[in-house]
């Protein structure tokens, strides 16, 4: 009796191996993209946190003029240094957070002198995203 040898089995194994390897590589590439996006978002949150802590720090060391650091409204503050610092902060925060200059999304600082509540709100949205992100930091500053 003469038996026929099977041929092509090694080729089939090789093709399946390449397919499984390719699926794994595609998964790794897509995961890397998601990680990069999350890293960029983390950077924006860190930047917003830095800006919030900066304006809170300015108001904390000058508690008698905490109301002078309020943005977005004409305040009756006579301390031009504090007003200038707040204006500079607002300009930098607006410039460095994406789309923060849009109307209604500008960085804002509010202060309630009766309770001492000092609230910093920062908004941003990258152009490739649908949703807005917001960072709010609240503290109490009393003279």
**What is the pLDDT confidence band of residue 103, given thresholds at 50, 70 and 90?**
confident
Which of 119, 135, 107 lies closest to 44, judged by CA?
135
**What is the pLDDT confidence band of residue 50, given thresholds at 50, 70 and 90?**
very high
Q: For 93, how many CA atoms within 13 A lie in the half-sphere containing its CB? A: 29
pLDDT given at position 101:
84
How many residues in the chain? 143
With the C-alpha atoms ordered 38, 44, 45, 46, is the resulting torsion angle positive or negative?
A: positive
pLDDT given at position 138:
96
Query: CB within 8 A of 139, min separation 6: which ones?
Result: 56, 60, 117, 118
Q: Is the pLDDT of residue 13 over 90?
A: no
Q: Is the pLDDT of residue 136 over 70?
A: yes
């Amino acid at each position: 009796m003469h038996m026929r040898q099977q041929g092509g089995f090694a080729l089939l194994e090789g093709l399946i191996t390449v397919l499984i390897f390719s699926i794994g590589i595609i998964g790794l590439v897509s995961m890397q993209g998601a990680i990069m996006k999350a890293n960029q978002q983390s950077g924006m949150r860190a930047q917003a946190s830095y800006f919030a802590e900066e304006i809170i720090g300015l108001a904390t060391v000058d508690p008698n003029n905490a109301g002078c650091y309020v943005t977005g409204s004409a305040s009756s503050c006579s301390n031009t240094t504090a007003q200038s610092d707040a204006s500079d902060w607002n300009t930098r925060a607006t410039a460095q957070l994406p789309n923060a200059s849009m109307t209604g999304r500008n960085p804002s600082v509010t202060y309630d002198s009766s309770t001492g509540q000092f609230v910093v709100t920062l908004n941003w949205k990258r152009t490739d995203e649908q949703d807005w992100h917001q960072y709010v930091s609240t503290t109490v500053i009393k003279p």
